[in-house]
A and B are shown apart, each in its own frame.
Chain A
């Protein structure tokens, strides 16, 4: 489970919005308090800042690996086997970092969008919005 879905899960769980509805259940009005909405915003904000830091670290790491790759490629220019190993290693490391970075980036975008949208919404509407995203995330995770 990604960080953002964990945050959404605990928010929806606190507001009893993850309960499975039964045939014949009595009508229940779920009131989402301003308090839980604020907690959600704070949690997203905190996670978003943490992700920003990871993005910076990953980009720095990306540059260092790229730089080292170039340096060793020039340094071992007379040894084609070593250059092959260096390029292979650099490529694989970059691939791993870029794929992780992509996931963080997607999560960060979702956090930013969620924050900006729920900022101007009533707690009830915000709950609807978060539920829509959360259940769609569950669905798309199942399809993968």
Chain B
């Protein structure tokens, strides 16, 4: 069971990007049949840069300051290894059909769930937009792993700013991840209305 009263600090968390974060990987993904996100930008790097990378360049140094670990070009194997060393694993990626995009391609929900260690007693935060099926499968197969996700579609810019607020809040307060997440969602909803 997850203890909601444990304070979480960003240094106990890791943030992994399954979508490309560089010009090279963006263009490589255009040719890769098992990739999808970069293709949505029609092969135009400047559009991708404007809609995602620019914001990443702005938020990433601020996320580092909080003590958060960040992993780029996340492969499925890297993702599974993260569960051995961190209490909170955040997957920032793209969802398509029944699969999530990693640096080594789109991976099915069963492949993703299989590699999550059964001994993992932490939180998996899925920032991949409507990953309902994946969340259900994890809850069924890995009952010790608490899955969190917000079932809304949003732009990468929105999510980067959301996590920047969340981790800055965690860094400056003694809170559990779940409490910080709840408060951050509340603040975002308040600012939206």
A27-B96 Cα distance, complex, nearest whole Å: 8
B115 interface residue (CB < 8 Å to A): no
A22 in contact with B46 given A27-B36, A27-B96, A139-B54 (CB within 8 Å): no
Q: How many A-B residue pairs have CB under 8 A?
A: 72
Evaluate contact between B44 and A139: CB separation under 8 angstroms: no
Evaluate contact between B43 and A24: CB separation under 8 angstroms: no
Which residues B108-143 have CB closer than 8 A to chain A? 127-131
**Would you give the shortest CB distance from A137 to chain B, in whole angstroms?**
9
Per-residue CB proximity of A20-63 to B under 8 Å, as 1/0? 11111111101000000000000000000000000000000000
Evaluate contact between A128 and B42: CB separation under 8 angstroms: yes
B49 partner, pick from A20, A21, A27, A139, beta carbons under 8 A: A139
Look across to chain B and name the residue whose beta carbon is closest to the beta carbon of A23: B129
Residues of A contacting B131 in the complex (Cβ-Cβ under 8 angstroms): 24
B157 interface residue (CB < 8 Å to A): yes
Evaluate contact between A128 and B44: CB separation under 8 angstroms: yes
Evaluate contact between A131 and B94: CB separation under 8 angstroms: no
A24 in contact with B36 given A132-B44, A135-B47, A139-B49 (CB within 8 Å): no
A24 in contact with B42 given A135-B47, A139-B49, A139-B54 (CB within 8 Å): no
Evaluate contact between A138 and B50: CB separation under 8 angstroms: yes
Evaluate contact between B36 and A132: CB separation under 8 angstroms: no
A13 interface residue (CB < 8 Å to B): no
Among the stretches B66-74, B148-156, B185-193, the one at the interface with A is B148-156
Classify chain A's interface size: 20 to 34
A27-B39 Cα distance, complex, nearest whole Å: 9
Evaluate contact between A127 and B42: CB separation under 8 angstroms: yes
Look across to chain A and name the residue whose beta carbon is closest to the beta carbon of B92: A23
A23 in contact with B42 given A135-B50, A138-B50, A139-B54 (CB within 8 Å): no
A82 interface residue (CB < 8 Å to B): no
Most chain B CB inside 10 Å of its own CB: which residue of A17, A20, A27, A128: A20
**Would you give the shortest CB distance from A110 to chain B, in whole angstroms?**
15
**Would you give the shortest CB distance from A6 to chain B, in whole angstroms?**
17
Evaluate contact between B46 and A24: CB separation under 8 angstroms: no
Evaluate contact between B51 and A20: CB separation under 8 angstroms: yes
Evaluate contact between A23 and B50: CB separation under 8 angstroms: no
Residues of B contacting A21 in the complex (Cβ-Cβ under 8 angstroms): 37, 40-41, 51, 155-156
A138-B128 Cα distance, complex, nearest whole Å: 28
**Would you give the shortest CB distance from B94 to chain A, in whole angstroms?**
5
Evaluate contact between B96 and A23: CB separation under 8 angstroms: no
Evaluate contact between B128 and A24: CB separation under 8 angstroms: yes
Residues of A contacting B40 in the complex (Cβ-Cβ under 8 angstroms): 21, 25, 27-28
A24-B40 Cα distance, complex, nearest whole Å: 11
**Would you give the shortest CB distance from B27 to chain A, in whole angstroms?**
13
Q: List residues of B whose CB falls within 8 A of some A CB.
A: 19, 36-37, 39-47, 49-51, 54, 92-96, 127-131, 153-157, 159
Q: List residues of A whose CB falls within 8 A of some B CB.
A: 17, 20-28, 30, 127-128, 131-132, 134-136, 138-139
| Sample (10) of A-B pairs whose CB atoms are under 8 Å apart | A17-B47, A21-B40, A23-B92, A23-B128, A24-B95, A24-B128, A27-B96, A128-B42, A128-B44, A138-B50
